Each structure stands twice: as structure tokens, then as C-alpha cells.
Structure 1
Amino acid sequence: MMLVEVTAPAVEALPVAGLREHLRLGTGFEMAGDAAETAALAGFLRAAIAAIEARTGKVLLARQFRLRLEEWRDPLGQPLPLAPVEAVEQVEIADAAGVGTPVDPASYRLVPDVQRPMLKPVGTFLPSVPAGGFVAITFRAGFGTDWARVPADLAQAVLLLAARYHEDRSFEGTQGAMPFGVSALIERWRSVRVLGGRGTSRGRT
């Protein structure tokens, strides 16, 4: 299984002003609004968003992803590894030579769920994947394109973690350790990942 982020959030969607205000109130730093500082704050926010998304399986700002599977986990319905999913934009079946054919959108449907969205067949089964081939699912996931659409507890967790990264000025030795306050905020959003591979769980690559 391979999951690729096709698009990234625009810098305009990141809560840079909110982080600047949080740092001023919480630590006393005075942040000038020049381009270098804005870029630095955006970097801390992207790192924090990535960490929160990795821990929860929830996509905060909407963007496009592509999931490649060598086989369906279950031909009656394929769980998608991220949530919430806005839309399945394309399903493509490729043969052993890598030549892909789009699947008729009328033959499948998205079953939205905040924890475990599913791609399900309209008929009995999802289309078969040829030996040596693969299926590629392009989908759009996220709470919205605007930061205001992100749930308040997840948004606050991002600000706290980004502020921690800013204060440490280095990710070395800090990325693996999630501060307790951040962990408490994201706990209810955490879920067991259900990924590709029939009857197995595989790591995200």
C-alpha cells in the first residue's frame, strides 16, 4: 500500500496570525510580520499539522490524496486510511504493465464516516484487480479549506504544538514526544488505522 499527498494546504489557509498571537500572549515574544517570520511560523504549523494528522488519521485542511493498493482489503468495501473524506474523485485499475483504466463512477460510492470512511460497490463487489496490477484511488479529505472549519480541540492542539516547536527552535528530539496537553486534546479523535491488504494492517509509506 502507498498513500501519497497530492496537494498541500496553501500558506494562506494556515493560522499564522493565530500562532503569532498565541506566542505573544503565552511567551512574550514580539513577532514582526515580515516574510521570513511568516515563513518560519508556517513551517512550524505545517510540522504540527503533520504530527497531529499522523496521530489521529484526521486531515485538518482539505487536500487531495492518492492511495495505491495491490488488492482490495475486502471487495465488499475498502476502508480509506484518512478521514473525513469529502469525495472520491477517481478510481483506476491498472494491469501488470501499469496501464490504467478509470472505473465508472456509477459502479462505486463513498460511505462518509468521521472515523472509517469506506469505498463501496454499487453492485455486489468492487471491480477485480488483475494479477500483478493495482488499484489507485484519488480522493479529497479534510474538514475544509478554511482553518475555521477545523474542530476547536484539534486547532488548539496544532497551535500548542507549533508553539512548542517554535520555542525549542529544533525538531530534533521533540517530534516523537507529544506534550501532554496536546495528547489530551487529540485523544478523542484517535482511531485504529485500517489500511490496505486483506486481513492485515500495514504502515503508511
Structure 2
Amino acid sequence: MMLIEETTLPDAALPVEEFKAHLRLGTGFADGDVQEPVLMGFLRAAMAAIEARTGKVLIERGFSWTVTRWRAAGGQPLPVAPVTAVTQLLLRNRDEEEEVIAPAMYRLEPDAHRPVLRPGGTVLPAIPEGGVAEVQLSAGYAPDWAGLPADLGQAVLLLAAHYYEYRHETALGGGCMPFGVTSLIERYRTVRLMAGGGA
């Protein structure tokens, strides 16, 4: 299984001004833009950490997901949420020959935590022996920062500020995340009821 982010978040989509206000940084100085690349880096790191912790995509982007077999022929859970669209499904055999599957052969079953790729009929198209299925999808809560749920936006700012304040600290334990951030993202985390499972 491999998930690849096909479209990256542009710098213009990052809430740099909101972050400056959150940090109470001064404005109007001639060198006011000097810190912007640093602030963008902390914002990207905070977003990546929250997305990893929750399994949710914050700002809408395109992904490609490759699997060697379906977990079940009647439906394959997708690796991120919320998925807004499955834009393409193709099968690739061991000789790298591709077959694009007609959209009528599959459908998206939306879910806040675990969206599922369902067959248009009874089963998903069979993956060739030694081949893969590649699912192209769009996922994210909103197309831009303004549309993001307020609690997730606040969590990003809090975590980015934490990274900013402790940017010279190297003694923090692995996986350290402030309580305020974990409490804000807790309801977005996917509860795992069973261990393992095929990709």
C-alpha cells in the first residue's frame, strides 16, 4: 500500500497572518517578511502532525493510493478522510499495462472517519495477479483555511506556536503534543476496533 500526495499545499493557503496574530508578533516593520518562511515551516509541520495523528486531511488536496489487493471485494476502506471524490480507478498489471475502470463500476461511500470505495455492482474490479489498483482521490475538510472547522484551525495554530516557542529545544520526548492540541483533535481521531487487516 502506498499513499502519495499529488498536489501540495501552496504557500498562499497557509494562515501566516493568523499565525502572526496568534504569536502576537509586531507588524509594520521593514523586515517583517523575514520570518515568513520560518512561520510557514512551522505551520506545515503542525498541519502534517495533526493530519498524521487524526488520519484526516485538513485542506483539500489530491492523492493517489496504490494497493496490491482489496481488503474485501465488496468494499475497500480508504486511507484518509474526508474523501470528497474518487476521480479515477485504474488497474495496472505486472507488465505496467493500465486499464482505466469506468466510473459506473465503483462509487464512493462517504464517511467522516472511514470512507469506503464500493463496487457499482456486487464486487470491485479484480486486481491482476502481480499487479496493483491505483485510486486517485480528493480529500480534505475545506478548499482553503477559511473553510476549516474552527477547532482544527485552532489546533494547528496552537501546535505551530508550540513548535515556534520550543524551536531550540532538543530534549522534548518523542510524540510530545500539548494537551490543548490533543483535546481539540480528539473527536477527529479514528477509533480502531480491531487490529491489523490487509491493505
Normalised by the size of structure 1, how large is the TM-score?
Answer: 0.88
Say which SS state the counterpart of residue 36 (structure 1) adopts.
Answer: coil
* Pairwise CA distance, 1:97: 1.4
| CA spacing shift, 1:162–1:108, aligned 2, 3 Å | same
CA contact (8 A) 1:88 1:110 kept: yes
**How big is each residue's C-alpha offset from its partner over 1:179-204, in whole Å with a ceiling of 9 and x where there is no partner?**
1111111001100469xxxx7166xx
Percentage identity across paired residues of the two chains: 50
Question: Which residue of structure 1 lines up, in the alignment, with residue 155 of structure 2?
Answer: 157
Conservation of the 8 A alpha-carbon contact between 1:109 and 1:122:
yes
1: distance between equivalents of 2:26 and 2:103? 52
Number of residue-to-residue matches in the alignment: 194
| CA distance in 1 between partners of 2:138 and 2:5 (Å) | 10
Deviation at 1:34, TM superposition (A): 3.8
Q: Give the partner amino acid of 2:187.
A: R
Structure 2 counterpart of 1:23: 23
Q: CA offsets, 1:93-146, max 9 Å, x none?
A: 010112221111111111111111111011010000011000000100001121
Q: Could you say which residue in structure 2 is the equivalent of 1:78?
A: 76
* C-alpha spacing 1:171/1:189, structure 2 compared with 1 (3 Å): farther
Aligned ranges 1:30-41 → 2 under 5 Å: 30=26, 32=29, 34-41=32-39
Deviations 1:9-48 (A, max 9, x none): 1111111111100000xxxx43657443111111100000
| Counterpart among 144, 147, 151 of residue 145 in structure 2 | 147
Q: Structure 1 pair 167/201, CA: closer, same or farther in 2 (3 Å)?
A: farther
Q: Which amino acid aligns with 2:20?
A: R
Answer yes or no: is 1:187 the counterpart of 2:186: yes
Structure 1 match to 2:3: 3
Tell whether 2:197 aligns with 1:200: yes
Contact 1:63 1:140 survives alignment (8 Å): yes
1:48 to 46, 49, 52: 46
CA gap of 1:46–1:148, structure 2 versus 1, over 3 A, is same
Task: Classify 1:46/1:170 alpha carbon distance in 2 versus 1 (closer, same or farther; 3 Å).
Answer: farther
- Would the aligned equivalents of 2:91 and 2:101 in 1 still touch at CA under 8 Å? yes
Any gaps of 5 or more consecutive residues in structure 2? none
Equivalent pair of 1:81/1:193 in contact (CA under 8 Å): no
1:193/1:201 contact within 8 Å kept: no
Q: Which whole-Å CA distance do the structure 2 matches of 1:105 and 1:57 have between them?
A: 26
Structure 2 residue matching 1:87: 3-state secondary structure: strand
Q: Distance in 2 between matches of 1:130 and 1:146?
A: 38
Q: SS at the partner of 1:123?
A: coil
| Amino acid paired to 1:187 | E
* Cα distance in 1 between the residues matched to 2:198 and 2:133: 17
Q: Is the 8 A contact 2:80 2:139 kept in 1?
A: yes
What RMSD in Å do the two structures reach over aligned CA positions? 1.9
Partner of 2:88: 90
TM-score (norm 2): 0.91
Q: In terms of mean alpha carbon deviation, does 33-42 or 99-108 score higher?
A: 33-42
